[in-house]
Structure 1
């Protein structure tokens, strides 16, 4: 695996770390490839129960590597296409895997970094973090699912404000509007993430996978179709081995 993204698996948790601290963890072609490869690796690893994504150094992720775009402006479109193809494939795999995704936003997130930060099922932000769209500041438009995720988690009006004006959002506002799940001091953020991981590891993996898919589809599906998917999901869980074991375990604990 490329050193652009580090992978560490411990006690059923895969930790993915964006690893270009000298470049603010900006996404160049090798990092985009590494994100896609890492996403496939952890999604297919049966020993992995949950995934954490974070960054090395002061920044979470500054977005796309502007220096890579600027080296040859006549070919900037080709470079961006080469980045977005694997990056978006990696994001899609992380979004659809049967495992919860926890974002540890250790520092500022901008551009594609904002999209990555919003992708988590649980997002824990350091008080050292802040969130900026940044795209229109360099004449670009959103990628990395930013324009899909932001209206869903923060509302359309706030998304319009952030994307069109590049206004910086601090952790307190991000928490209040639903962009993040929790905020913690830099020296406490790992402890908060660990507490969430304990809860996720304790849950049956199949139940988390089905629930994750249902929540992801909720805002883009009609009620009738969604009710059918809910029914199929819960019936399937009741018929599965780990579903039956979970029900038995619940009553054993009650007794």
Structure 2
């Protein structure tokens, strides 16, 4: 049986593929655990300078695995896609790892993203989709709550509320229009290629500066504007002191040449 999560690392880009198309790439215990480990390890690996998350078989991630949910409902607590030690849902910890990763993380939404799949996609720094991309959540239909954290950050509280209350899947054109997809390619077969192209470009960029930007982004969220501006200035000064690539970037600009970034 093929592994539920497949890994490939080339040219500084780690590709993490959910590979359970028969279940819509739903998250069971093993899959959630493997996804979390893959992203956490990739975030810590100095050879990895960008990460792409994708799914196989026309699905990005359809949320929690239905068979696991049935077993959980029948009393099999260990079937839940959550840590046996802390009971934290794997997708929650995965979102945390994506947000905190000191490198760009892209979601190739090549198909359907539902519930936890939507939150994982929204945790990514960039989302790429095609005509077949569908994003949303049906938890309201079964009286459960979710997608109130990461989706809200991407589309705002009002749109996130409407998407949750309707229980609908947002189509590709609307998703692109409201910022739920950053890039929309003409054909579904181009989604992964475009994500890989963007990831390679970012992997060859000043990834230490990207890490600092992500830290600034998280720390300045919902700060008063004056505090956020002062924090931004401190981080700019940190980039001078901590990002070796900043010197190369300035030199290249002044010399009229293309910079060669090392990610340090």
Question: Does TM-score exceed 0.5, indicating one fold?
Answer: yes
User: Match of 1:99?
Assistant: 103
- The alignment covers a number of residue pairs equal to 251
CA contact (8 A) 2:29 2:81 kept: no
After superposition, where does 1:22-171 map in structure 2 within 5 Å?
Answer: 22-73=22-73, 75=75, 79-80=79-80, 82=82, 84-142=88-146, 146-171=147-172
Q: Secondary structure at the match of 1:127?
A: coil
Aligned to 1:252: 255
Are the equivalent residues in 2 in contact too, given 1:118–1:180 (CA < 8 A)? Answer: no
Question: Given that residues 64 and 81 in structure 2 are in contact (C-alpha distance below 8 angstroms), is that contact kept between their aligned partners in structure 1?
Answer: no
Query: What is the CA-CA distance between 1:14 and the residue it aligns to?
Result: 0.5
Q: CA deviation at 1:77?
A: 6.7
Q: Which runs of 5+ in 2 are unaligned?
A: 259-264
Cα distance in 2 between the residues matched to 1:93 and 1:248: 34
Q: Which runs of 5+ in 1 are unaligned?
A: none
Superposed displacement of residue 215, structure 1: 2.5
Hey, what's the Cα distance between the residues in 2 that align with 1:202 and 1:72?
44
Separation in structure 1 between the aligned mates of residue 188 and residue 89 of structure 2, nearest angstrom: 33
Relative to total residues, which structure has the larger helix share, 1 or 2? 1
* Residue 79 of structure 1: how far off its partner (Å): 4.6
Q: TM-score, normalised to structure 2's length?
A: 0.87
Q: Does 1:179 align with 2:180?
A: yes
TM-score by length of 1: 0.90
Q: CA RMSD in A?
A: 2.2
Question: Are 1:204 and 2:196 an aligned pair?
Answer: no
